Amino acid sequence: MKYLFTTALIVIGLCLSAQEYKPQVKTDHYAIVVTDLTASAQFYSEILGLEEITNQTKKSNIRWFAFADGVELHLIQTSKEGIETKKDFHLAVAINSLPDFMKMLVEKKVPFESWQGESGKSNSRPDGVNQVYIQDPDGYWIEVNDAARF
């Protein structure tokens, strides 16, 4: 009986340990190469409202920022050779009020457009989310949408 009980425990243990590991993933940070660190830092803080945080690397060519959810953006000043900035390769952020954001863009003379490329316009995605696209000083595309759940 002891042998049967011990064998059963071993078999159950092996079955449980044989389950496939499934990682749980969440975003930690994005890092982008910029050519003018000061201009990019100003854009991300003043236009997108990101908070500058302590740059743990202490390197003068790097600045760190945080999104509202704690995800970080690392700006790294270096050569940008060979990096393409196509609209379909973009960062997407959700904002609490797209109309207010668009008004602020107009006031600050920051160009924006719809996915289709219509200047000063927004558009709706198939899922009903409204969006505009802007570019940072290095030409990286950023989708700003109203999918936020603030």
User: Residue with structure tokens 């927004």?
Assistant: 122
- Which pTM was predicted? 0.81
Q: For the segment 7-48, what is each residue's pLDDT rounded down to a tens digit?
A: 655 666 666 556 788 898 899 999 999 999 999 999 999 999
Domain interval for residue 125: 84-150
Return the CATH number at 38.
Answer: 3.30.720.120
Q: What SS3 state is found at 88?
A: coil
What CA–CA distances, in Å, run from 102 to 58, 70, 77? 35, 24, 28
Same domain, 88 and 77: no
CB contact at 8 A, 46 and 38? no
Q: Report residues of the chain scoring pLDDT below 70.
A: 1-18, 149-150
Q: Specify if 75 maps to a domain.
A: yes
Do 96 and 76 share a structural domain? Answer: no
Total domains present in the chain: 2
Beta strands in the chain (DSSP E): 29-34, 51-53, 62-66, 72-77, 90-94, 123-124, 130-135, 141-145
> Has residue 6 been placed in a domain?
no
Q: What is the pLDDT of residue 106?
A: 98
In a domain, 4, yes or no: no
